[in-house]
Amino acid sequence: MSALPSSSVSSFRLWLDLARAGNFPSVWSNVLAALVLSGSAVGTWPAPSLLVLTFLAGSLAYAGGTTLNDVFDAGFDRKHRPERAIPRGLIARATAGLVGGLQLALGLGLLVFLGASPLAAAGLGAVILLYDWLHKRWTGSVLLMAGCRVMLAVTLATLPGQTMTSTFIAWLVALFVYIVVLSLLARREYHPGAPAEKLAKIVRKMLAFIPFVDALALLASAAWIPAACCVASVPLGKWAQRNAASS
């Protein structure tokens, strides 16, 4: 089997960076935690087919949101993040907008196809787009950033056979607070005089450690094996961050 041309590999890597694929393991961990904690019997595994398809849906929605984020931020990135694909002219802004919109629509559509509430899926899409539009204009957009992860979990909890338990809601609160703190630190990277490199390193670590929040909630529900899977996604996330962008 012949190897892919270097230009194809390079182009594929650019799209992975736009999708912030370095954070996919934490998205999968969130999806697993949401399905287990909202299951009819907490601690039971979801069907393998459902797990795979919701991993795909969550990844597509996340990729669409982050790709569109770069589309909205093209002007800001020309000044502050010129190494990114759109400011460098490696990917056209219009093309990124088309692909990002398609990714988001496919992710949300797949969730609805699986039986999730169309209203919840629409809410997830709205929060993602609002964040992309407002996050450089409004400090309070950190609430929207956390809301993206929370709304993904809420949408998953509307799938057939799922329900919002008290443990599920407590996990959502903990996840929300964690993401807000992470997002506030990320915003400080661009403040004049801020230790940008140090803050970026902390933010990358916090992104990789999101699954620990999931694991703690699962452990509290005695879901030992799903919790172990979430913990295992931390080193997977660190590996992914070395091979694709995460922030």
CATH of the domain at 110: 1.10.600
| Any domain includes 79 | yes
User: How many domains does the structure of the chain reveal?
Assistant: 1
Q: Which long-range CB contacts under 8 A does 45-48 form with residues at least 24 apart?
A: 45/225, 45/226
pLDDT (tens digit per residue) in 85-108: 999 999 999 999 999 999 999 999
Q: Which domain holds residue 138?
A: 13-243
Measure Cα distances from 180 to 32, 66, 90, 183, 245 in Å. Answer: 21, 17, 32, 5, 20
Q: Determine contact, residues 172/196, Cβ cutoff 8 Å.
A: no
pLDDT (tens digit per residue) in 172-207: 999 999 999 998 888 776 666 567 678 778 888 888
What are the residues whose beta carbons fall under 8 Å from the beta carbon of 147, sequence distance 6 or more? 127, 131, 176
pTM equals: 0.91
| Any domain includes 177 | yes
| Any domain includes 1 | no
DSSP letter for 234, please.
Answer: H
| Any domain includes 142 | yes
